[in-house]
Amino acid sequence: MTAPDHIRRFLQHLREERRFSPHTLLNYRRDLERLQAFCAAQDIGDWRDLTPVHLRAHISALHHKGLSGRSIQRALSAVRSFYRFLLRAKRVAHNPAVGVPAPKSPRRLPQTLTADEAVRLVTIVADGPRAARDRAMLELFYSSGLRLAELTALDLGDVDLAGGEVRVSGKGGKTRIVPVGRAAVQALRDWLGARRAWVAPSEPAIFVTERGRRLSGRAVQLRLKHWAARQGLAQPVHPHILRHSFASHLLESSSDLRAVQELLGHANLSTTQIYTHLDFQHLAKVYDAAHPRARKRRATETGG
């Protein structure tokens, strides 16, 4: 097989067996096609001939082109996974990405909404099927901390309204059960009553278009942008901001990091720990606003 054939087989494996999201697959394709172009420029005609020295040169070139440390880390992750796939298929004898470091980049804290902003966003007047669908989507996002790909993949059999639960197929095909709040349960009941007018009985998707087809991730993004403007939110809103807000608000109330990790479906606790930084920022603001010594210090700094 040619180099593009190997990449195509690998991406098919990620899509069908490991259930990677379309967004991740698109990024991995781009990363591996960049590597393939580098190999062609260096007269490397076989994946077996790529060495760690070559890969460091490729990473250096990406860095000089302005790719962020995070993007380069993802590119290296794609190469490592790709070579593990080739090793299992006995196409190569070594993984050149093992031990190759990526340039570090500062970790950005995720954006969140305040509790009032989140409630304002999801409190949509469901005066028709489209608004009922959108309210159910937004309530479920915020109630259960779902990823965009998890929400669009939901089928009717995944939701237990009586039990207040939803079964989610997350990254790597891992399944988890997460609770659904009362407001989201009611919004889903309202939407499922209206949904029948849009779909054939055989359609399993919960969230559909007016033509009865499964709603795409891009369509959800556009509807969220529409409602953020309609509800008067000042900052741009994307689907992941509701997931971040869910995690941050839950952690502020409970301080149970392990529980938040389970609800979000994070494989590593270190991924969830970023929300403790958000919680500390919140506490620091409260301290600065309320503590007498903090107020005195701030007045001195400003010359007041």
Cβ count within 10 A of residue 293: 8
Residues belonging to the active site? 147, 171, 240, 243, 266, 275
Paired tokens of 233 = 């939110």
Q: Where are the beta strands (DSSP E) in 155-241?
A: 159-160, 165-169, 175-179
**Euclidean distance between CA atoms 217 and 225, whole angstroms:** 12
CA neighbours closer than 13 Å in the CB half-sphere of residue 177: 7
- Residue 214, classed as helix, strand or coil, is strand
Helices (H), the chain: 3-16, 22-41, 52-64, 69-88, 115-122, 129-144, 148-152, 182-195, 217-230, 239-254, 257-264, 269-272, 274-290, 292-301
